[in-house]
Amino acid sequence: DTAVSQTPKYLVTQMGNDKSIKCEQNLGHDTMYWYKQDSKKFLKIMFSYNNKELIINETVPNRFSPKSPDKAHLNLHINSLELGDSAVYFCASSPKGRNTGELFFGEGSRLTVL
């Protein structure tokens, strides 16, 4: 049973389109995240939700909108896709509380914008 699962794993789309990536965790964690890994492998946090409440919102364009229908799910919707959005997007989760340490990552969703 996959702990943090993301769909789709690969996404190829044209500039200007809108796309969504879904994430689910079955670890019972309260906190979920979206990270972006660019072509140079640099990992940067985008958003974090704690029990459905947005707690971290880094400097991310408004075209990116996270949604957490419940604490086990965190989806990412991207409007008006641009070439620079091409990256691998990782969902992650962690146990409740401040700075408890470990992040559990999904396998990533590779987005290619043509």
Partner 1 sequence: QQQVKQSPQSLIVQKGGISIINCAYENTAFDYFPWYQQFPGKGPALLIAIRPDVSEKKEGRFTISFNKSAKQFSLHIMDSQPGDSATYFCAASKGDFNKFYFGSGTKLNVKP
Q: Cβ closer to partner 1: 41 or 69?
A: 41
Measure CA of the first residue to CA of the last residue in the chain; give whole Å: 34
Q: Cβ closer to partner 1: 92 or 113?
A: 92
Q: Cβ closer to partner 1: 53 or 82?
A: 53
With vertex at residue 106, the alpha carbon angle to CA 102 and CA 109, rounded to the nearest 5 degrees, is: 140
Q: Cβ closer to partner 1: 2 or 80?
A: 2
DSSP letter for 56, please. E
The binding track of 27-66 with respect to partner 1, each residue x by CB under 8 A or -, is ----x-x------xxxxxx--x-x----xx----------
Footprint on residues 70-109 left by partner 1 (CB under 8 A): 90, 92, 94, 98-103, 105-108
Inter-residue contact 103 to 37 (CB < 8 Å): no
d(CA 75, CA 32): 10
Q: How far is CA 5 from the centre of its chain?
A: 11
* Chain residues that interact with partner 1, rule: CB under 8 A: 4, 31, 33, 40-45, 48, 50, 55-56, 90, 92, 94, 98-103, 105-108
